[in-house]
Structure 1
Amino acid sequence: MNWFLLLIVAFVVFLAVRQLILARPGIPLDEAQAALKAGTAILVDIREPLEWHHGVAKTASLLPFSDLRGDRTQWRAFLEKNRSRKLLLYCASGTRSSLAVSTLKREGFDAVNAGSLRDWDKAGWPICSPKHR
C-alpha cells in the first residue's frame, strides 16, 4: 500500500475526530439553561455579525470571535463586567466556541462551550432576530 496515501487518510481521520471532540458542548444544555435562569451564567453568541442575521438565542450577548482574537473593543468591557459569572459560549458548530473557551480559561475566566445555535434551538431555547431584541 502507498504509505503516503495512508498517511494522508490518517491525517484526515485525525482532523475529523478532533473536530467532533472540539465541537462537543462542555455542559448539558438543561444545566446551562438553569444557570442562565439563576443568573450565575451568561450566554454569548461568538459568531460573526453577518451570521447573527439568521437568528440568535434569546438573551445571548453578541460578541464576535474575531474581536476576542483581535483588539477586544467589544469583549474587554464585557469581560470586566462579567468576571464572576460562568460564560456559556456558542457558535455555528461548536468549534469556534471551543477555541474561545480555551483562550478565556487561560486568562482565568470560567468559560464553557455551550455548543451551537442549532443545539439551543433543538433544546427549545427561544431563537429571535437580533434586531428585535
Structure 2
Amino acid sequence: FSTQSQPPQNPLQANLPQPQQEVPDVPPPKTHGNRFLDLVEAVKPHINEITVEDLQQWIADGKPVHVIDVREPIETHKGVIGDPIRIPRGVLEVQIERAVPDVTETIVLYCAGGNRSALAAESLGKMGYTSVYSMIGGFRAWAQSLQP
C-alpha cells in the first residue's frame, strides 16, 4: 500500500508497448480467419485494385492522388508510403469526409496486406466515392518492391 498519489492507469493503454520496448510484428496474412478472407474475396469483384508498380508510376507522373494508410498506428513502425493521410480502418467512414471532401478525387487505400484496404474501398464506394483503389498486397508488397 502506498500513500503517494499515482495517476490512475487507463485500462485501454495498460497493455500497449512502452516506447523503449520493441513493437511486436503484425501477424502475417495466414493468421486471418476463413470468414474474414471470404468476406474480402466477396468484395473484390466490386472494387478497384491497383498494383504497387502502378501506384509508383502515378506518383512519379505527379497524378493527383490521396494515399490513405488505414493501418492502426501501432503498425506504422515499419514505414509508410510517402506522406500518407493516416486514418485507421475503424474510423475511416467517420473521418474521410474531412480528409477528402470531393468524392470524385482519386484515393488509394493501403493496409498491411491488402485485405482491410479492400473492405475500406468497398465502404467508400458505398459512401459515394467514385475513384477508390485498394493497393494489392498492401505495405508488405510496397516494402518488397523496394528491395534490391
Asked if residue 32 in structure 1 is aligned to residue 55 in structure 2, the reply is: yes
**Residue of structure 2 in register with 1:112 after alignment:** 133
CA RMSD of superposed structures (Å):
2.9
Give the structure with the higher percent strand.
1
Largest Rg, 1 or 2: 2
Higher helix share: 1
Find the aligned partners of 1:121 and 1:33 in 2 and give their Cα distance. 12
1:18 to 2:38 alignment: yes
Equivalent residues, number: 109
Structure 1 pair 17/99, CA: closer, same or farther in 2 (3 Å)? closer
- Stretch moving more, 107-116 or 96-105: 107-116
Unpaired segments ≥5 residues, structure 1: 1-12, 126-133
Q: Percent identity?
A: 24
- Name the SS for the 1:30 alignment partner: helix
Greater RCO (CA < 8 Å, at least 6 residues apart):
1
Point out 4+ residue stretches in structure 1 off by more than 6 angstroms.
Answer: 22-25
Alignment partner, residue 66 of structure 1: 90
- Per the normalisation by structure 1, the TM-score is 0.66
Q: Which runs of 5+ in 2 are unaligned?
A: 1-32
TM-score (norm 2): 0.60
